[in-house]
């Protein structure tokens, strides 16, 4: 749940990136359907890795730390969990080597897939949906 909330928060900040205006936590929480008190904790973790940054003062709030094209889903997952995917089997000496190898293959595949998904790509996919209409 935490990684989903973090991804939603980054997507929300990405939508406002072109304007260059900081979003208040309450506004971001409302737009993304997130609990504001939990969102603050997530934004602090994202800020620690430069994904988000904060602005103090009356017009303060949060902004993306870099362009949406430079932030991947893997970056967000690492900020929240330390890795994109982990399994206790990867470091368990009692896990059979062939099974540990399978877990490692899965970890690598998830790292690669999440690294290819940028928030710019997600913005473009969202914009494409807005342009579609149905008869």
- C-alpha neighbours within 13 Å on the C-beta side of residue 26: 1
Residue 44 has pLDDT above 90, yes or no: yes
Distance of CA 39 to the CA centre of its chain: 12
**Average pLDDT score, the chain:** 90
Query: pLDDT per residue over 56-74, tens digit each?
Result: 987 789 999 999 999 999 9
Q: Provide the pLDDT for residue 130.
A: 56
CATH number at residue 61: 1.10.10.10
- The DSSP code sequence of 58-100 is TT-EEEESS-GGG-BHHHHHHHHHSSS---GGGG-TTS-HHHH
Domain range holding 79?
Answer: 2-131
Q: What is this structure's pTM?
A: 0.84
> Is the confidence at residue 133, as pLDDT, over 60?
no
For the chain, the domain total comes to 1
**pLDDT tens-digit readout, 73-128:** 999 999 999 889 888 888 899 999 999 999 999 999 999 999 999 999 999 988 76
């Amino acid at each position: 749940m935490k990684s989903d909330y973090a991804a939603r928060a980054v997507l929300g900040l990405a939508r406002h990136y072109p304007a260059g205006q900081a979003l208040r936590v309450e506004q971001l929480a409302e737009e993304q359907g997130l609990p504001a008190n939990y969102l603050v904790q997530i934004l602090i973790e994202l800020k620690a890795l430069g994904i988000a940054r904060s602005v103090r003062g009356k017009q303060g709030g949060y902004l993306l730390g870099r362009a949406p094209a430079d932030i991947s889903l893997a970056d967000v997952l690492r900020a929240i969990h330390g890795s994109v995917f982990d399994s206790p089997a990867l470091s368990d000496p009692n896990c059979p080597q062939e099974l540990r190898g399978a877990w490692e293959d899965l970890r690598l595949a998830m790292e690669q897939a999440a690294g290819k998904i940028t928030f710019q790509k997600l913005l473009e996919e969202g914009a494409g949906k807005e342009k579609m209409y149905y008869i």
